[in-house]
Structure 1
Amino acid sequence: MYKDNDFVYEAFSNLQELVKMEITVDSTRQPYDAVIQISNHTFYCIAKKNARKSSLGIVINQINEFKNSIKQDRRILFVGEYIAKDVADSLIQNNINYLDVSGNCFINADDLKIIIEGRKQIKQKNVNQARAFQEAGLKLILLLLTDKEALEYSYRMLADKANIALGSVSQIMKELEESNYILKTNEKRILKNIDDLIERWVVSYNDILKPRLLRKTYKAINLDYLRKIVSDNNTKFLLFGGEPAAEKMTNYLKPLEYIIYSNDDLSIIGKELMLVPDNNGNIKIYNTCWTESLNNEYLNIAPALVVYADLIGSGNSRNIETAKMILENEL
């Protein structure tokens, strides 16, 4: 599949102008997006158009997988058309060299050190303007990725199970076909390019849909009691996401921040969990964006894709590590 990486050349051209050093670029060396020479140093590049906080976890996981797939002594350089400032800071904290099209960079290799900050970024492009990656589309894609039988449902059933308009289903399914995410044959529909579809869903969910679902932020009067509620799994009206869900799914993460999905009355939730409103609290209550018909093998846990998106969107390195486990084992 063609990958639009023309911005890689622009990034290195701008860097060459800034540092007045000769830089050579070779973009034909698989599996790299480019191999570059700066002075006597070679860097193996992985490129991505936009790197925002909502996709930071995905970017870091991809870079780490890329590192593990090549020889250990090869230096990695992440190249982005747009790299948000908080993402750049996180890349530096993770000892990852980076460069954007404007020339902002952190490149550190033995006797070579180039740090450029503060150059005006190009305007970030919204790559998810298609209807499929707006609210209704995100609900439908969640259903398609979570329910293995959903691709065989009629449009009417898809609309009912995703709780969206029937007309929206037709338009979204057509977009997904045109974007090469669904292959339609005479007998059935097949999901394609699932990894890319998951990535776009996660970014759009965190950017577009999840902020609309937020209801209120709290703190716990008794955190041990809240942890017991999560552990007991006996609440009929609560579904846990993020860190508490990941703890149940992986037995790896001890939650510090709590995400809870529920459409019930906030006063009932607050009383049941012994919560008090606090804008700086570590407990966030969200509405659900799926119907009760969506099957889930974990009791009182949000769909695995939602949990994965919660962890990725946190930007926390341990959450990102746990998210990778869920991606590999649950999605």
Structure 2
Amino acid sequence: MFIPAERLILLNKEMYRDNDFVYEAIASLEDTIGIPIAIESDRETYDVVLQINNETFYCIAKKNAKNANYGTIKSALKDINHSKNNIVIADYLTKKTAKELQQNSINYLDTSGNAFIKTDNFFVSIEGKKTKINKKTNQTRAFQEAGLKLLLLLISNPETLQFSYRELAEKTGIALGSVSNIFKELEENHYLLKTKNKRVLKNQDEIIERWVIAYNELLKPRSFRKKMRALGNEFNVNNIITNSDVKLYFGGEPAGQLLTGHLKPQDYIIYSNEETSRVAKELKLVPDETGSIELYNKFWTDNLHLKNEYTAPPLVVYADLLGTGNNRNIETAKIILENGL
């Protein structure tokens, strides 16, 4: 059953309270192009199904997309049927992300009516419409630095979800009060279910998506130390693992290679709390602002159980790879996600 867009906006207030922005985006597009848009009210795999100009479009909604890049959006499309006409509907997209979606032939629409929708028989391109950004997006405790560290532990080592607040504070190195506040917030935002005997993380796909965005925007830049290059332009991950005494963990592309075997690294991320001078000496590196090797502080504690002793936690590697926006890295990130974080 298809319902005109203007009627469905009213119905939506009760039906899909969390996706109001979807219907605002559709109504804005309808006003701009002057063509009636019908929306299917029954949803299964897709958030909404549209009829525009006698063509059917299958849409997924991207809430909290203010800081999402092409990589995180492309990853979310992994389960949809690409033989159909698809549209990503977001509350907000940066110009850079919108351009990358266009270049990769991904249709999109945002709440202001900016759009790129192209099929064999239909084409719409709208740019320059300004969107009011919700400055509170991703500003909650759970997706600030302490919350990101706690969620990393909970997702990487699920058994810790049942630990006491004090144990979790000790294992993450964050304040006891912060643990309590973050759990309270997760419960209020329907990410955590507390029963008499256990805690359960809900909507984990959404948690992971928001974690990746907040990590790349906030925690990763704070952890950055220096860009470097290898002397003689030689940098061999396996040789380092075999011969180096320095304590380090690979992220990004080299970690993707170690975890999946499906990637040949071109850029390198290293996490370590060793002195920069020691890392440079052991690995034969020199500072270089254009270098392909990035050194970051390790921000998780040794209490977090790693799947591979030479790589960062898979969730961190997944976020590193998606953050590049590179298609080959996104494919490797999907494999890591499918293998379990």
TM-score, length-scaled by structure 2: 0.89
Give per-residue Cα distances to partners, 1:190-220, cap 9 Å, x unaligned: 2222222211211111111111000111122
Corresponding residue for residue 247 of structure 2? 237
Q: Which amino acid aligns with 2:249?
A: L
Tell me which moved more, 128-137 or 9-18: 9-18
Corresponding residue for residue 326 of structure 1? 336
The alignment status of 1:296 with 2:306, answered yes or no, reads yes
Q: How many residues align?
A: 327
Structure 1 residues 235 and 313: alpha-carbon distance in aligned structure 2, compared to 1, 3 A threshold = farther
Measured in 2, the distance between the counterparts of 1:295 and 1:80 equals 35
Corresponding residue for residue 23 of structure 2? 9
Deviation at 1:183, TM superposition (A): 2.3
Measured in 1, the distance between the counterparts of 2:204 and 2:117 equals 33
SS in 2 for 1:106: strand
Structure 1 residues 301 and 214: alpha-carbon distance in aligned structure 2, compared to 1, 3 A threshold = same
The alignment status of 1:19 with 2:33, answered yes or no, reads yes
Measured in 2, the distance between the counterparts of 1:64 and 1:193 equals 17
Corresponding residue for residue 88 of structure 1? 98
Corresponding residue for residue 75 of structure 2? 61
Tell me which moved more, 310-319 or 192-201: 192-201
Corresponding residue for residue 246 of structure 1? 256
Measured in 2, the distance between the counterparts of 1:292 and 1:239 equals 12
- After TM superposition, list the pairs within 5 Å mapping 1:153-164 onto structure 2: 153-164=163-174
SS in 1 for 2:42: coil
Give per-residue Cα distances to partners, 1:265-322, cap 9 Å, x unaligned: 1111111111111222211111111111211131221111111111111111111110
- After TM superposition, list the pairs within 5 Å mapping 1:1-331 onto structure 2: 2=16, 4-52=18-66, 54-67=68-81, 72=83, 74-230=84-240, 232=242, 234-331=244-341
Tell me which moved more, 22-31 or 145-154: 22-31
Deviation at 1:142, TM superposition (A): 0.8
Measured in 2, the distance between the counterparts of 1:36 and 1:78 equals 12
Deviation at 1:230, TM superposition (A): 4.3
- Long gaps (5+) in structure 2: 1-14
Structure 1 residues 186 and 123: alpha-carbon distance in aligned structure 2, compared to 1, 3 A threshold = closer
Tell me which moved more, 254-263 or 200-209: 200-209
Deviation at 1:171, TM superposition (A): 1.1
Structure 1 residues 60 and 310: alpha-carbon distance in aligned structure 2, compared to 1, 3 A threshold = same
SS in 1 for 2:58: strand
Deviation at 1:79, TM superposition (A): 1.2
Q: Which amino acid aligns with 2:85?
A: R
Tell me which moved more, 47-56 or 259-268: 47-56
Answer yes or no: is the 8 Å Cα contact 1:183–1:192 preserved in 2: yes
Answer yes or no: is the 8 Å Cα contact 2:47–2:61 preserved in 1: yes
SS in 1 for 2:265: coil
Alignment RMSD (CA, Å) = 2.0
SS in 2 for 1:264: coil
Answer yes or no: is the 8 Å Cα contact 1:233–1:300 preserved in 2: no
Deviation at 1:235, TM superposition (A): 4.0
Answer yes or no: is the 8 Å Cα contact 2:67–2:217 preserved in 1: no
Q: Which amino acid aligns with 2:116?
A: F
Q: Which amino acid aligns with 2:33?
A: V
SS in 2 for 1:149: helix
Identity of aligned residues (%): 52
Tell me which moved more, 257-266 or 99-108: 99-108
- Long gaps (5+) in structure 1: none
Deviation at 1:13, TM superposition (A): 2.2
Deviation at 1:167, TM superposition (A): 1.3
SS in 2 for 1:103: coil
Tell me which moved more, 266-275 or 215-224: 215-224
Answer yes or no: is the 8 Å Cα contact 1:55–1:202 preserved in 2: no
Measured in 1, the distance between the counterparts of 2:254 and 2:94 equals 28
Measured in 1, the distance between the counterparts of 2:30 and 2:16 equals 26
